[in-house]
Structure 1
Amino acid sequence: MAITWGTVKSLLLFFGPILLPKAVAYYRSVRAAPSIHGMSIRPIPPAVQRALLIFLIISLSFLINTFPKFSPENIFSVTGSRLQIPTDVLFTRLSGIRPHGLTPYDEILRSKIGSLEGRLLYFRFGPDVLSECQFCNPEDPNSYFYYAIPGILIPHMFNLYVIALATSGLFTGKEGAVWRTTGTIAAIAVAIMEVYLVSSYNYQGNSRATRLEDIDFFFWKMRIYRGVALAALDGLLGWVLYLSSTNRAFLNPPSTAERIELSTRILDLARSKMSATGVLRNTIVRNDGLRNRSQEYWIQEGQVTRAIMEEREVVQSVQNALENRINIATISADAETYAQNIMMPLTGMQQANGAT
């Protein structure tokens, strides 16, 4: 049963108030995810750039392949012939537009579409299946379907291979690997959908067509739908891969173990810098020349600072800031809180050492 536009509007009016707030909430949660998890937006990783380039090239290839120039020839369309046209008249017209007359391929096709059933199967499976299948019989239409299955699945298998490559952990790292399962399932679903549409198509409906415009050229339409669907699938995978790899959406927060490892590395780096600073400080203190130069530097620095602070403009600026902009009580309280936060871990460690 066909779905009318009124039914669609009724469904939208019923489900719209329920689904729209959920969609808005989901969009806001996706936008706020980076700040919630403390992750900032980053540039596209080089490995992901290669995957996006592959998706772009393959998507454009699928779209270009849908152009009429790359489609198998439809002899009824190019000759402007109706379904009921006699076979001899049809191929006479076809030979008129052939530069060198009919080809052997045309003669094979001529023997296949002499009957109404053959022509209906021609619209369903295309010229290649009818011309090349040796065991097919119009009395058994499923034989043509079995022969057509490999040709239907080849573009989907190729696209599945491309998705597997572009989302491989060795090729794009973990940024692409997170979409490997999703992309594989989506590609398989598109392939199953096309096989189902071809197998369930009511090709006998064309038998009532009296004009060329009334004929449903199912095979040629499915080529367009297949190319657009595969291009859209690859484009969608590339888009979500871009969003997730740049931390714009679909974030995968680091696990507890990864956070601990990152914190440990940061602490090790800070400890190494503090140790290096202590060694440098100890070297300066023990060396007479370096110690004298350090003292001279800080004496000179203090004199310069004092000279600057005694200038009239600086003194006036400090007074204005103290009077109009700075709350001394607040700054003192913040400084005291900061000092207490620093001293509390040290006090706790001393108490723990004393207890031990």
Structure 2
Amino acid sequence: MGNYDNIKTLLIFFSPLIFRQTRSLYRSLRTSLSHRPAPRPLPNSAAFALNILFITICVTLFLSLPASTGINPHAPSPNIFTQTNSRLNTPTELLFSRLARHYRPPTNTLTESDLLLKSKFTIPSARKIYLRFGPDTLTNCPFCTPDNEASYLIYYLPFHTLLPHLLHMFLTGLITSRPLTGASASRWRGKFTLAALLLFLLETLLVSMYDPNTHGTGSTDIPSSFHNRLTSARFLSFTLFDATCAAIIWLTATHRFFYKPPSPAQVAEKIVSNVSTTLAGATAKAHALSVVRNATVRDRVLKGRDDAYWRTVVAMEGSGADGNNNNNNRGSIWEEEEVVRAMTRVMQRRNASGKGDEVDLGRLGVEAGSYVDGVTAGLEREEVDGDDGGDESEE
């Protein structure tokens, strides 16, 4: 009754705060869902992260299988108490004779690792160390003593706990690296790393605080191996962790959930990037045009053709010298009937498709004529000089 009263008091005290936080979270979530854009295809960078996660999920799920399945060769060795259906206080000779008879056919002889483990089982406390840390720690630790279980813990943590979690955190950092997997995955880098670190701390706490005396190791019970169960649970937690990360990255990358509008700095950066790309393209085209122009000027035949083309344009525009009055009578090229009809058709189609306001054809012709006059101004002077020289020679 006292516990119920304490819980009731805590609920009364914290319920207003919990209600406000829940309502705020609901409103922010609803606003985020209402303002999110339409789902988009999965980007290639996010797909790369999901491919890595798929591989790690398959590997960790495979490593979580116990040795009894016969599929996982890297699983910890089975618990000999469970194999032989023996209690914790079963005599050592009887325990290993059962092991040899049922699990070491056809010779029914113990292996070297079995004999080494048998030599350690002569001490009663060694059996609990075996259940807690596994046979590898019990038989291979060079500085451990059965009287000091902390020494086994020091040997166990770096190789069996720290190393797997370090590899897992490395993969977590890899899938949230912005150069490799893009912004959709990198925005979760801190949260994923913190969650992976919490997994490591939780396992370390479990190993450090586990006491075999209080977990079914009585004289009439068949003891279970904490080391084997913890190993399977570790890789299963990696599997669930990676699957959750994959789901979050997929939802974020496709804008189905966790959508975050770009910040002003990101928008400005994108605009600057687009402008830089456009300027780079324009600069490349201008450079190519300059190269072509230089090649044309340096080649006598090409220069002659170019000059002849622009003289023809000048003549058609009626901007020639005084000696070209016959060409002036031809009028501007923009006034020719075929050109006017073609331009009219283009502008009508443009206006019909709603792509812009109606264009003044007369003004367009004047601007184009001014542009041509500016480009061919030098040719006019050259042609006038040539005509004057011809008249003087005739005189």
Mark yes or no: TM-score above 0.5: yes
- Cα distance, 1:207 vs. partner? 8.0
SS of alignment partner, residue 146 of structure 2: coil
Is 1:98 the counterpart of 2:104? The answer is yes
Superposed, 1:259-270 pairs within 5 Å as 259-260=267-268
Show the counterpart of 2:365.
none
- For 1:124-273, what aligned pairs fall within 5 Å after superposition? 124-150=132-158, 151-205=160-214, 209-213=218-222, 215-260=223-268
Measure the CA separation in 1 of the matches of 2:347 and 2:157.
Answer: 85
Contact 1:44 1:245 in 2 (8 A): yes
TM superposition shift of 1:210? 2.5
Which digits, 9 at most, give the CA deviation of each residue in 1:149-208, with x for residues without a partner?
122122111111111111111210222221122211211111111111111112233585
CA distance in 1, matches of 2:58, 2:9: 35
TM-score (normalised: structure 1): 0.68
- Match for 1:63 among 61, 64, 80? 61
Structure 2 partner of 1:108: 116
**Structure 1 unmatched ranges of 5 or more:** 270-283, 306-356
Offset from partner CA, 1:2-51 (integer Å, 9 cap, x none): xx9x89x9799877897578557635633542543x63321111111121
Q: Does the CA-based 8 Å contact 1:52-1:238 persist in structure 2?
A: yes
Q: 1:287 to 1:142 in 2, by over 3 A?
A: farther
Shift of 1:90: 0.4
Stretches of structure 2 lacking an aligned partner (at least 5 in a row): 68-74, 278-331, 353-395
Q: Structure 1 residues 296 and 116 mapped into 2: Cα distance closer, same or farther (>3 Å)?
A: closer
> How far did residue 264 of structure 1 move?
7.7
Task: Assess, with a 3 A threshold, how the Cα gap between structure 1 residues 56 and 262 changes in structure 2: closer, same or farther.
Answer: closer
Distance in 1 (CA, whole Å) between partners of 2:249 and 2:95 is: 51
| Distance in 2 between residues matched to 1:168 and 1:296, nearest whole Å | 54
**Contact 2:82/2:224, CA 8 A, preserved across alignment:** no
CA contact (8 A) 1:44 1:242 kept: yes
Structure 1 residues 60 and 265: CA distance shift in structure 2, 3 A: closer
- The alignment partner of 1:249 has SS state of coil
Residues 86/187 of structure 1: CA separation in 2 closer, same or farther (3 Å cut): same
Please tell me whether the aligned partners of residues 59 and 231 of structure 1 are also in contact (alpha carbons under 8 angstroms): yes
Poorly superposed stretches of 4+, deviation over 6 Å: 9-18, 263-269, 296-300
CA RMSD of aligned residues (A): 3.8
Residue in 1 aligned with 2:41? 43
Query: Which has the higher mean CA deviation after the structures are superposed, 235-244 or 204-213?
Result: 204-213
Q: TM-score, normalised by structure 2?
A: 0.62
SS in 2 for 1:173: helix
Does the 8 Å contact 1:31/1:248 carry over to 2? no
In the alignment, is the contact (CA less than 8 A) between 1:65 and 1:71 conserved in 2? no
Any idea what SS the aligned residue of 1:93 has?
Answer: helix
Residue identity matched to 2:110:
L
Structure 1 residues 287, 162: CA separation in 2 closer, same or farther (over 3 Å shift)? farther
Whether the 8 Å CA contact 2:45–2:180 is kept in 1: the answer is yes
Give the letter for the 2:256 counterpart: R
CA distance in 2, matches of 1:65, 1:265: 46
Deviation at 1:224, TM superposition (A): 2.3
1:117 alignment counterpart: 125
Q: Hey, what does 1:292 align to over in structure 2?
A: 341
Cα distance change, pair 62–217 in 1 and its aligned pair in 2 (3 A): same
CA deviations on 1:288-341 (whole Å, 9 max, x unpaired) are 2221234478899xxxx9xxxxxxxxxxxxxxxxxxxxxxxxxxxxxxxxxxxx
Whichever of the two has the greater Rg, that structure is 2
Kindly tell me the number of residue pairs found equivalent between the two proteins: 285
Distance of 2:272 and 2:51 partners within structure 1: 37
Distance in 1, Cα, partners of 2:179 & 2:84: 52
How far apart, in 2, do the equivalents of 1:109 and 1:10 lie? 54
Letter in 1 for 2:176: T
Aligned to 2:129, the other structure's residue is in SS state helix
